[in-house]
Amino acid sequence: MATSLGIRGAFFDFIDDPWRHVGREYEAARFLADGLLVVEDGKITDFGDHGDVSRRHRALDVTHIRDRLIMPGFIDGHIHFPQTRVIGAFGEQLLPWLQRWIFPEELKYQDRDYARGAARRFFDNLLASGTTTAQAFTTSSPVATEELFDEATRRNMRLIAGLTGIDRLAPAEYMRSADLFYADSKQLIARYHRQGRNLYAITPRFALGATEALLAACQRLKQEHPDCWVNTHISEDRAEVREVREVHPGCADYLAIYEKYGLTGPRFTGGHGVWLSDDEFHRLAASGSAISFCPCANLFLGAGLFRLGRATDPRSRVRLSWGTDVGGGNRFSMLGVLDEAYKVGMCNASALEGHPDEAARNKVSPYRGFWSITLGGAEGLYIDHLVGNFTPGKEADFVVLDWNGGPSHQAWRQSLMADEAGPRTMEQAADLLFGIMMVGDDRAVDETWVMGQQLYKKG
């Protein structure tokens, strides 16, 4: 017998991309001041105004969540599971930072107990941040990938991940040969891909850490498993971009390396893309490839300002997910990502005085921001048929937001936007959401639900 439940409260989600509704972004959103979500066996079966929906489900067991905004669970498109502990490590740009802080920590994940404990912490932190879906890097050792998928399975959380391949530029004990990477990946794909909510991503760490042999192994995996995802990094840092050209001299630019090995296209994500050329943006758009925008990390490592207004050009729109990039990013919370995304956008906008359209596309309104970490992120990862909003048929992952959660000054700020009874209009709700993203933090996350089950409640 199916288990059914109803969630009543104020709901905010998206039905379209706000960048397609310039000046009328509210057309892309959906706000129900008093809504009802019906969940059966973890999936949404009905959604709408409480008055309408409740008439169709008279015997429903309803949980009424008051004084909160209920949104789809947040989607983190780019995060490094084995960097959980080394978040916020001092003082280096990308390449020396990897050597000094990251590889030594990731090596610990060859130990199964360490990896298992870390996986528990990782998901605890995601849930406390309102994140219900992540696309994650692991390490070069299968142990970390296994423990990550196993923990996701126990929590029934949707996860995209894969063994992370690297065969140059890392300590010897960290690197794996292309052959071993291929063999381990095959086993992991057979064991985890599409088992429960798990999805497998073929994961070359980045082209700078890959020989031709490793990329050829990725190509073969993709040919043999065309419905797998591909997850990697691209054009993050100036020094990296310069060096990658020397390692792969036949390729005209960074993207061309991944194109050469047939890795781009739907379900491909390249993290960062700070230094992509206009031509690379065009080719990404044309092939249906995605970039994951990670502003916390781009600022923390000083990589630079992602050209958000260029990526969202309607003539050549690139799919995006947004990511924390823990531990290059210093926040686990996607709300922290929205904070920094807004700032990157404003800095870009100010520098684009002669280009008003691109400048305006850089402004991360609450509509654009929250779309990007819900439905937009799902589109970027090609999982929008599964998650991202409250449309019936999708999985019931959602987050319950307390708009006053955050520092001591937040409640008075929010009282300027809506009175204590909460938002009555979409505009009021959006004003509160902007406060959550710019003044609030993880304290705004009051509850996190996965497949219709409450897995986190703020203590």
Nearer to a second copy, 62 or 360 (CB): 360
Residue from 113, 246, 353, 420 that binds a second copy (CB under 8 A)?
353
Nearer to a second copy, 78 or 267 (CB): 78
Nearer to a second copy, 2 or 90 (CB): 90
Phi first, then psi: what are they for 49, rounded to 5°? Answer: -60, 140
Residues 296-335 that bind a second copy (CB under 8 A): 299-305, 330-333
**Nearest approach, Cβ of 128 to a second copy (angstroms)?**
4
Residues 361-390 that bind a second copy (CB under 8 A): 363, 365-366
Nearer to a second copy, 171 or 302 (CB): 302
Helix, strand, coil % over all residues of the chain, rounded to 5:
40, 25, 35
- The contact mask relative to a second copy for 234-253 (x = CB under 8 A, - = no) is ---xx---------------
Residue from 168, 350, 427, 457 that binds a second copy (CB under 8 A)?
350
Phi first, then psi: what are they for 436, rounded to 5°? Answer: -60, -40
**Nearest approach, Cβ of 352 to a second copy (angstroms)?**
10
Encoded amino acid at 117, one letter = G
- The contact mask relative to a second copy for 262-301 (x = CB under 8 A, - = no) is -------------------------------------xxx
**Nearest approach, Cβ of 192 to a second copy (angstroms)?**
25
Q: Is 88 left (phi over 0), alpha (psi -120 to 50) or beta?
A: left
User: Of the candidates 130, 199, 37, which has an alpha carbon nearest to the alpha carbon of residue 370?
Assistant: 130
Query: With binding defined as CB under 8 A, does residue 108 bind a second copy?
Result: no
Give the Cα separation of 455 and 450 in Å (integer): 7
**Nearest approach, Cβ of 325 to a second copy (angstroms)?**
13
Identify the H or E element spanning 301.
none
| Burial class of residue 424, CB neighbours in 10 A (0-12, 13-18, 19+) | middle
Q: Which of the stretches 54-62, 137-145, 213-221, 430-438 binds a second copy when contact is defined by CB under 8 A?
A: 430-438
Residues that contact a second copy, how many (by CB under 8 A): 55
Give the Cα separation of 155 and 134 in Å (integer): 13
- The contact mask relative to a second copy for 401-420 (x = CB under 8 A, - = no) is ------xxx--xx-xx----
**Nearest approach, Cβ of 7 to a second copy (angstroms)?**
24
**Nearest approach, Cβ of 223 to a second copy (angstroms)?**
38
Residues 153-192 that bind a second copy (CB under 8 A): none
DSSP class per residue in 109-127? GGSHHHHHHHHHHHHHHHH
Nearer to a second copy, 226 or 407 (CB): 407
**Nearest approach, Cβ of 292 to a second copy (angstroms)?**
19
Phi first, then psi: what are they for 36, rounded to 5°? Answer: -140, 130
Q: Distances from the Cα of 308 to the Cαs of 163, 359, 360, in angstroms?
A: 29, 9, 10
User: Of the candidates 87, 79, 62, 69, which has an alpha carbon nearest to the alpha carbon of residue 5?
Assistant: 62
Residue from 182, 435, 446, 450 that binds a second copy (CB under 8 A)?
435
Radius of gyration of the chain (CA): 21
Residues 115-154 that bind a second copy (CB under 8 A): 121, 124-125, 128-129
Nearer to a second copy, 91 or 250 (CB): 91
Give the Cα separation of 378 and 364 in Å (integer): 18
**Nearest approach, Cβ of 331 to a second copy (angstroms)?**
8
Query: With binding defined as CB under 8 A, does residue 84 bind a second copy?
Result: yes
| Paired tokens of 61 | 């067991």
| Cβ count within 10 A of residue 459 | 4
| Cβ count within 10 A of residue 129 | 26
Sequence length of the chain is 459
Encoded amino acid at 183, one letter = A
Residue from 342, 370, 371, 403 that binds a second copy (CB under 8 A)?
342
| Cβ count within 10 A of residue 56 | 12
Query: With binding defined as CB under 8 A, does residue 434 bind a second copy?
Result: yes
User: What secondary structure letter does DSSP report for 418?
Assistant: S
Residue from 339, 384, 402, 447 that binds a second copy (CB under 8 A)?
339
Q: At what angle do helices 178-192 and 142-155 cross, to 10 degrees?
A: 20
**Nearest approach, Cβ of 99 to a second copy (angstroms)?**
17
Give the Cα separation of 322 and 273 in Å (integer): 12
Give the Cα separation of 448 and 277 in Å (integer): 39
Give the Cα separation of 86 and 91 in Å (integer): 13
User: Of the candidates 372, 256, 255, which has an alpha carbon nearest to the alpha carbon of residue 308?
Assistant: 372
Nearer to a second copy, 89 or 256 (CB): 89
* Residues in touch with a second copy (CB under 8 A): 84-88, 90-91, 93, 121, 124-125, 128-129, 237-238, 299-305, 330-333, 339-340, 342-343, 345-351, 353, 363, 365-366, 407-409, 412-413, 415-416, 431, 434-435, 438-439, 441-442
